Amino acid sequence: MKFGLSTGTFYIYPLRTVFRWARQASFDTVELVVNPEVIARGGAAVRRVAEEEGMPIGSVHPTVVRLPGWWERRGGMERTIPLAMETGAGTMVMHTPRSESLDAGEGLAFRQLVERWQPRLAASGNGLRLAVENKAVRSALDRRFALTPVEQLRAFADRHDLDLVLDTMHAGSAGVDLVYASKVFAGRLAEVHLSDMGGHVPLGNWRLAQDLWSQHRFPGAGKLALEEMVAALAAAGFEGTVVLEINPVAARIWWPAAARRRLDRAMAWLRRAAAGGAGPG
């Protein structure tokens, strides 16, 4: 099992700084979230920066903001996948379509994207594999989408030879047991995006505070059984990557010294969890 850091947590920081912090906190790899710096530099140049800092890029994640031409749901993967190939990453993260059918609309576009790129990647010999992440459930509509159920997502991955990404916060929002989800994904699980959710929110019921604080929390700060899941993965000999994917508030990004301490604390938590006992965040 390897441990990775999502650069998306530190979206506003220079990539070199984030790579260095990840190395200093003893992470094994990073998940590169596409941002304006990534686009401006290009994949090959970003790879060189990562190599200079001694931090390999294990995976690439689409932009989390609607950057023109790069937004995943508007054709942005046609640019993002080639960029990922340049970085040397082994995994390209994708998200399920907001569609009740894979034969029309966004669902059809998603399926056709997969069918178009799978043979290209296989022929390239690059080593990059597509990996689809389970969906968060925030409404009744979300539950009706074709690939929201983890069982349906696994079946789709089997049909198209895709890897899978288990996002713990997304699974928690859907009410899916984490250990169960990891077993459903077993054999195709490339990454776990690890964060907590729920629990006490210090700023009360203010909606913005709820959104910023209660989702993608520091591990152990919420209500998810993260420790049990990580221990189960370790016991099963999981060879993929557990990627820390917490929100900027949880990382204390406004204070670099505090942010670095949070990374050290997170790595300590991950190691204890893998060994069978982590405790609260």
Question: Is the pLDDT at 230 greater than 70, yes or no?
Answer: yes
Output the pLDDT for position 56.
98
What integer is the mean pLDDT of 154-162?
99
pLDDT category at 214 given cuts 50, 70, 90 is confident
Question: Is the pLDDT at 204 greater than 70, yes or no?
Answer: no
CATH number of 2-275: 3.20.20.150
Q: pLDDT tens-digit profile of 105-145?
A: 999 999 999 999 999 999 999 999 999 999 999 999 999 99
The pTM assigned to this predicted structure is 0.94
124, amino acid identity = S
pLDDT category at 209 given cuts 50, 70, 90 is low
Q: pLDDT tens-digit profile of 12-51?
A: 999 999 999 999 999 999 999 999 999 999 999 999 999 9
Of residues 213 and 65, the one with the higher pLDDT is 65
pLDDT category at 198 given cuts 50, 70, 90 is confident
> Residue 278: which residues within 8 A CB-CB, separation 6 or more?
219, 220, 226, 227, 230, 269, 270, 272
Measured between alpha carbons, how far is residue 146 from residues 34, 141, 150, 184 in Å?
26, 11, 10, 17
What integer is the mean pLDDT of 2-19?
98
Question: Is the pLDDT at 206 greater than 60, yes or no?
Answer: no
Six-digit token pair at 51?
Answer: 């190599």
Output the pLDDT for position 130.
99
In the chain, % of residues over pLDDT 90: 91
pLDDT category at 222 given cuts 50, 70, 90 is very high
Output the pLDDT for position 107.
98
Three-class HEC string of the chain: CEEEEEHHHHCCCCHHHHHHHHHHCCCCEEEEECCHHHHHHCHHHHHHHHHHCCCCEEEEECCCCCCCCCCHHHCCHHHHHHHHHHHCCCEEEEECCCCCCCCCHHHHHHHHHHHHHHHHHHHHCCCCEEEEECCCCCCHHHHHCCCCCHHHHHHHHHHHCCEEEEEHHHHHHCCCCHHHHHHHCCCCEEEEEECECCCCCCCCCCHHHHHHHHCCECCCCCCCCHHHHHHHHHHCCCCCEEEECCCHHHHCCCCHHHHHHHHHHHHHHHHHHHHCCCCCC
**Dist. CA 229–CA 206, nearest whole Å:** 31
**Dist. CA 181–CA 201, nearest whole Å:** 26
Burial of 150 per CB tally in 10 Å (0-12, 13-18, 19+): buried
Question: Is the pLDDT at 279 greater than 70, yes or no?
Answer: no
Output the pLDDT for position 276.
85
